[in-house]
Amino acid sequence: MAITATHFGTTRDGLDVTAFTLECGSVKARIMNYGATVLSIECPDRDGNVADVVCGFDTLSEYQSDINPYFGACCGRYANRIAQGQFTLDGKDYTLAVNNAPNALHGGLVGFDKKVWDAEIIGDAVKMTLVSPDGDEGYPGTLTVSVTYTLSAEGEFRLDYEATTDRKTVLNLTNHSYFNLGGHNSGSVHDQLICIHADRYTEVDEHSTPTGNLLPVEGTEMDLTKPTPIGKRIAEVQGRGYDHNYCINQAESGALTLAAVASDPQSGRRMECWTTEPGVQFYAANYVENVTGKGGAVYNIQESFCLETQHWPDSPNQPEFPTTELAPGEVYTQTSIYKFGLE
């Protein structure tokens, strides 16, 4: 394992941002401490040709711009949606910014994706830490959260999350990388295959707000339990296409589980997604339109996909969903792995 650190840019507020390159075996990953963001992941195809399979930008200013659809970012305090930007905790009502009307999305107006995290190299890993003060974006409690990134010779890019709070709060963290296994600039992912090990998904309304119902995937366009071309039935999916939380089939709560497998028949690249979380949001970049990214590549709808490992959306308002509450004295932990290889 080799880790190098380089200056990536300076924020509008004058804070320096560092990019870290992790290289092990045939895979190279690059991350930065603005938004604890994954900048790139490079891996070979069946012929040994290396490509970057993560969409993103070349400059910090672009990551800070309004055109950034959370490329590679760590989303929090609460990834995904909270209905109406409101929830009640221990009898007290909390109001959040409605930044994805009518819902709160990915932590608010200035979520974890827009913060500069403290970062340090610890052995063969990079650890990023953030302190979110009480009341940050409307959430209670001073929260201390860390994400540790490691890369193994087996092609495993591992994210270990940990958090504590001094006051009861809600918490849901994810990484929002956009993948295209043909290469970030290779166009449509309709012919790439996806398999998600989930028999149910959370039903949503026209605003992508959970209804509280868990629906079976069997016999529907949502059934991805066997390797399926992403584009095969995407036109039949509610809204613009896949943007749904799948309820992972876990042998036990919190067990590290193979949630999904994606592959690209043309290049031979394969990616496994493992997580301890109960859900994975499969999102086919339905709202990415004419975004100029790395090297001048122009990204459009369904030219990448996300596998956002997380708790289920709107859990604070859905008592039947797995809890996202975190109390003082408890430690939030989560592990997610993206493992790269060949078919």
Give ∠ CA 227-28-269 in degrees, rounded to 5.
20
Nearest to 103 by CA among 89, 82, 88: 82
Kindly write down the DSSP assignment for every residue of 251-274, as one continuous string.
SSTT--EEEEEEE-TTT-EEEEEE
Contacts of 135 (CB under 8 A, 6+ apart): none
Nearest to 169 by CA among 82, 42, 252, 227: 82
Structure tokens at 200: 């149910």
Residue pair 288/263 in contact by the 8 Å Cβ criterion: no
The residue to which tokens 């959306």 are assigned: 313
Could you confirm whether 325 is annotated as catalytic?
no
Q: Find how far residue 115's CA is from the centre of its chain.
A: 16
| CA torsion through residues 174, 178, 183, 188, sign | positive
Nearest to 157 by CA among 168, 148, 146, 166: 148
Of 176, 184, 244, 311, the catalytic one is 176
Exposed/middle/buried for 9, CB within 10 Å: 0-12, 13-18, 19+? middle
Buried b (16+ CB within 10 A) or exposed e, 23-53: ebeebbbbbbbbbbbbbbbbbbbeeeeebbb
Give the chain's length: 343
Of 42, 156, 308, 311, the catalytic one is 308
Could you confirm whether 277 is annotated as catalytic?
no
Structure tokens at 24: 């092990």
What is the pairing mode between strands 37-44 and 174-175?
Answer: unpaired
- Just list the catalytic residues: 176, 308
